[in-house]
């Protein structure tokens, strides 16, 4: 199990913008993460006290970022950052996340990778039911 403090050292998302609480497990091809921050009234993506289901995309992208960092040799310090450049095949099965009472489970699977881009599919579930899914493409850029 990888906890939030370790995650914060792996990815450039700082403070409350790091949405993933823990990594349950991971392999070379996929990662399983969990969080229950969707209920936090101070969630950084809430607007007018509402957390839209559209934000499952950010949860999926952050799971992909964590996975990419875990695959780096010796979990090297962040030398590249990712920029979300495409979202495809996104399906949402709920309207909101803030009213979901249990842990969100985020699964991301690496579909393709190159020296300058990553493609991941992701799905987010709550209580064994799908919340949303899709695919993200992330462009890797050097951190100054």
Q: What is 2-142's CATH number?
A: 3.10.129.10
pTM recorded for the entire structure: 0.93
Cα 39 to the center of its chain, rounded Å = 17
Question: Using one digit for the tens of pLDDT, what is the confidence trace for 121-134?
Answer: 999 999 999 999 99
Question: Using one digit for the tens of pLDDT, what is the confidence trace for 65-101?
Answer: 999 889 876 655 555 678 899 999 999 999 999 999 9
Confidence at residue 118, expressed as pLDDT on a 0 to 100 scale:
92
Question: Using one digit for the tens of pLDDT, what is the confidence trace for 25-69?
Answer: 999 999 999 999 999 999 999 999 999 999 999 999 999 999 988
* Helix (H) / strand (E) containing 121: strand 117-126
Nearest-angstrom CA–CA distance, 33 and 25: 7
Domain boundaries, the chain: 2-142
């Amino acid at each position: 199990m990888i906890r939030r403090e370790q995650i914060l050292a792996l990815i450039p998302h700082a403070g409350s913008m790091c949405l993933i609480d823990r990594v349950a497990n991971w392999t070379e091809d996929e990662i399983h993460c969990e969080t229950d921050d969707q209920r936090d009234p101070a969630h950084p993506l809430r607007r007018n006290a509402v957390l839209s289901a559209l934000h499952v995309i950010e949860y999926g992208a952050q799971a992909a970022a964590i996975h990419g960092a875990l695959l780096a040799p010796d979990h090297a310090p962040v030398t590249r950052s990712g920029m979300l450049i495409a979202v495809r095949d996104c399906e949402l099965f709920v309207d909101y996340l803030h009213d979901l009472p249990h842990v969100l489970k985020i699964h991301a699977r690496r579909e393709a990778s190159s020296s300058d881009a990553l493609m991941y599919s992701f799905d987010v579930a709550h209580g064994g039911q799908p919340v949303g899914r899709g695919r993200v493409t992330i462009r890797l850029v050097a951190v100054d």
